[in-house]
Amino acid sequence: MKELEALLERRWVLKSEDKDLYYRIRDSIGEIRRFASEKLGCQVIENSLLVKLEKIPAIGESFMGIGEFTSREEYAFLCILLMFLEDKDAEEQFILSQLTEYIASNMPGQPVEWTIYTNRRRLVKVLRYAVSQGILRVTDGSDDRFMEELTGEVLYENTGASRYFMRNFSRDIMDYRKPEDFGESEWFEMDEDRGILRRHRVYKRLLFSPGMYKDRGSLEDFEYLKYYGRRLTEDLEAMFDCQIHIHKGSAFFMQGEDCRLGKSFPGSSALSDILLLCFRKIRERIASGRWSCGSDETIRVSVTEFEEMLREVKREFGAGFSKEFRVMPEGEFARQITEEMEYWTFAGRTEEDHQAVIYPSALKLSGRYPGDFRGDGAAEEKSAGSGKSRKKKALKRGENQENEQQMAGE
């Protein structure tokens, strides 16, 4: 159902921005509510302004933050912006200086000094994000002037969507003491390892994360897959263009060509290509016996050994990379590739013993250059164009039909 896919892919669907999709979702709202309630345990918000599926993950992941933000102050500015808009009606206008005064008087800790360029830049980043999400509209002026000098003004309009941005809690969150409390608040006074709540967790873990792993989260979730995996597979494959792969220690929602649930891997970026080549190197090390999978299907090696594998990929295939990665120092290359793997939960690391953990999803896909790739960037091809375009066409994604599927991520 494309309407359900749209709600899973987006934060919300605003009537003002996509009226046709908004009404198509309203027409299908009964079936959407049933799936959201029975399978995900998620609420559907529907009103004259928007339709939103509240996507509360079963397990919080690092990639679930706001990608545009790079500091805690930006998250604080966003929260105070939402507080500021609570007292504004839809279509009510305000100027930027009103907001900066409000933030300065409500920011916890040290007062905000707007004469500092970094603070102005962070606020502009938050406001641009709010505009991109449909929370605000720019009526007049440019935030570039505010970044350049404190006296720059912008006229904004509140759309009314801000009231539905944050999740509603059934308990007072001032009593919470750790991040896990926010996830557990749904299950207070209930046995979360039983029945319907366990089903909600399993469906959420499959749909909201790139992979579901046995060593992360409740072991009871894999017991559910053991007994009800076939029914779950039938449900999801009937609803979406996908394949559900269930293994001993992992499970995956593999998107088909006509399915779009958020970001998917592999993409068209150079980073995706490099990761596919890294995955092939991992397979080669397993086949040669240098690395081995544990009982939980993960591979654990020292961080030094893992980074050496990444450097080997750069030395062997670097001539086929884009210029950015071709000239990048090996240390920076290893850092960026590691961060990208961690973002997609292909890999992680343990702090206590300084080991790299490679998750089973890294073995679901792999890539290679053609056999006539010589390591100097040359490969005999009939296609014309730049070296970069030839390499993109030459890269083989996947070793078989299973591996040509895409992996979903919220």
DSSP helix/strand/coil, 72 = helix
Q: Answer for the pair 337, 310: CB distance below 8 angstroms, yes or no.
A: yes
Q: What is the pLDDT of residue 332?
A: 94
| Ranges in the chain, pLDDT < 50 | 188-189, 193, 377-410
Partners of 244 in the β-ladder = 253
Give the CA-trace dihedral at 318, 320, 326, 330, to 10 degrees. -20
Q: Measure the CA–CA gap between 206 and 226, rounded to whole angstroms.
A: 15
Q: Measure the CA–CA gap between 404 and 249, rounded to whole angstroms.
A: 21
Beta strands in 186-249 (DSSP E): 212-213, 242-246
Best CA proximity match to 122, nearest among 136, 137, 112:
112
Q: Answer for the pair 245, 254: CB distance below 8 angstroms, yes or no.
A: yes
Q: Is residue 33 part of a domain?
A: no
Domain ranges, residue 309: 267-409
Q: Answer for the pair 69, 125: CB distance below 8 angstroms, yes or no.
A: yes
* CATH for 125: 1.10.10
Q: CA–CA distance from 152 to each of 18, 128, 144, 175 (Å)? A: 32, 15, 8, 40
Q: Is residue 247 part of a domain?
A: no
Q: Are residues 271 and 157 in the same domain?
A: no
Q: Is residue 365 part of a domain?
A: yes
Q: Is residue 14 part of a domain?
A: no
The amino acid occupying position 362 is A
Q: Are residues 395 and 281 in the same domain?
A: yes
Q: What is the pLDDT of residue 265?
A: 84
Q: What is the pLDDT of residue 286?
A: 94
Residue 55, phi-psi category: left (phi > 0), alpha (psi -120 to 50), beta (remainder): beta
Q: What is the pLDDT of residue 372?
A: 66
Q: Measure the CA–CA gap between 61 and 345, rounded to whole angstroms.
A: 9
Q: What is the pLDDT of residue 353?
A: 73
Q: What is the pLDDT of residue 263?
A: 80
Q: What is the pLDDT of residue 393?
A: 31
Q: Are residues 271 and 405 in the same domain?
A: yes
Distance spanning both ends of the chain, measured CA to CA: 17
Q: Answer for the pair 115, 150: CB distance below 8 angstroms, yes or no.
A: yes
Q: Are residues 285 and 158 in the same domain?
A: no
Total length of the chain:
410
Of the three residues 110, 138, 164, the one that is the final residue of a domain is 164
The amino acid occupying position 100 is T
* DSSP collapsed to 3 states, 330-347: HHHHHHHHHHHHHHCCCE
The amino acid occupying position 29 is I
Q: Is residue 145 part of a domain?
A: yes
Q: Is residue 46 part of a domain?
A: no
Of the three residues 164, 182, 207, the one that is the final residue of a domain is 164
Q: Count the domains in the chain.
A: 2
Q: Is residue 173 part of a domain?
A: no
Of the three residues 133, 164, 195, the one that is the final residue of a domain is 164
Q: Is residue 129 part of a domain?
A: yes
Output the six-digit token pair for 83.
Answer: 């507080």
Q: What is the pLDDT of residue 61?
A: 80
Q: Measure the CA–CA gap between 258 and 256, rounded to whole angstroms.
A: 6
Q: What is the pLDDT of residue 168?
A: 78
Q: Measure the CA–CA gap between 236 and 233, rounded to whole angstroms.
A: 5
Q: What is the pLDDT of residue 376?
A: 53
